[in-house]
Structure 1
Amino acid sequence: MKRFVATARGRVQRVSYREHVYNETFERNISGYVMNLKNGDVEIVAEGSEEELRDFINAINIIHRPIAVKSFTVRWEEATGEYADFEIVRGEIQEEIFERMDYAGNVLHSMDMKLDQGLQISKETLQVGKETLQVGKETLQVGKETLQVGKETLQVGKETLQVGKETLQVGKETLQVGKETLQVGKETLQIGKETKEEIVGLRSDTKKHLDDEFAEIRKELVSIKDALARAGIQV
């Protein structure tokens, strides 16, 4: 068991600092006292395990409106076991009343400031709410316009799909016509080959016939020439 004697300086009187110190002992096995000093400081004497005492010091060496501990000195000693529990040592009744009044005034002032801050926050929140509502309306309008565009896009997509189907059908028909045209081309080529063969054959027959005719004419001319020579006619 250990004991410390501490002095807290700063804004520690008439701000309910002693009540704060007292409340921090509730869940700790600590005995001793806290009391105001005439010079405006607060004295704390506490006994307990060293671990709990160190945690206790951290909990009471604070700056938290309206309390402001500016200096906290500690002197460690051996425990004496003279205290049964932890208590607040009160001063004269008039001093205690004034301290309560000062603390109440601080609390009211703090509540008033918080009320003003809360009112300001409420106004800002209301303004933000109005702006958010306006944004929501605009977002809804954009959503409606987007939905309309989506519907129109869907309609265009359907029409494009229909055109695609019709184009595919035309493509199939064109392919069929191409196949038929190719077949006609093949047949035309075959006819051309046959026609060429017939023409070649015809030219051959015609040439032979003409050669025979020319040969016969030459013979007749030679006969006529001989006949004229015999008649004494020179040709």
Structure 2
Amino acid sequence: MKHVHALISGEVQGVGYREEVKRLAFDLNICGWVMNLEDGRVEITAEGESKSIEEFLDKINIKKYPIFVEEVKVDEETYTGGFRSFRIIRDKDLQKELLSAILRGTVEIHEVKEVLLSVKQDTSAMLEKQDSMLEKQDSMLEKQDSMLEKQDLMIEKQDSLIKVTEKGFNDMKTGFREIKEEIHLVRDDFREMFMHEIRELRSEITEIKATLTRMQEAG
């Protein structure tokens, strides 16, 4: 297997040269790409069987009006196997490219169709990517909705727990208040009973003192 990079000079832009290169690549089962450069040259990257690559490089040296190749510079590079097909990398302004070629009378009808087909394929690919992105966005939104629902459920549980906790604290507060009141009552009862005992004890002491006094006086 071989991987080559080629730069083609001459009358090779706006004359259907890339379409010819693509047809040759298809016939020889070669993968890669071809594109126009701003300096007027055409750049090609190709991978395939060694014999097919050699034949391909020979056949792209086209000198048939309106195409005229002046020079083909080839560099052999490391084979990667990273291509599955051979494609034309179109200029950004496809309408301008197509109109220029038609006005110069250098593109056949089938070449026009091929350009339009390429535009259609590129558009379809873009739409597929957009659909894929929209599907991913929908999936993300669904996940976000699910997360929000879970968050709402957690918040509800937290609210419920807070209410239960508040009720527990309120019950404890009520219980403490009742205990405090009972303690006050017990203290009051105890104080009253204690004072009663003191009064009785004082009364008894007074009586004893009076009895002792009388006994002393009598003696």
Q: TM-score, normalised by structure 1?
A: 0.43
Q: TM-score, normalised by structure 2?
A: 0.46
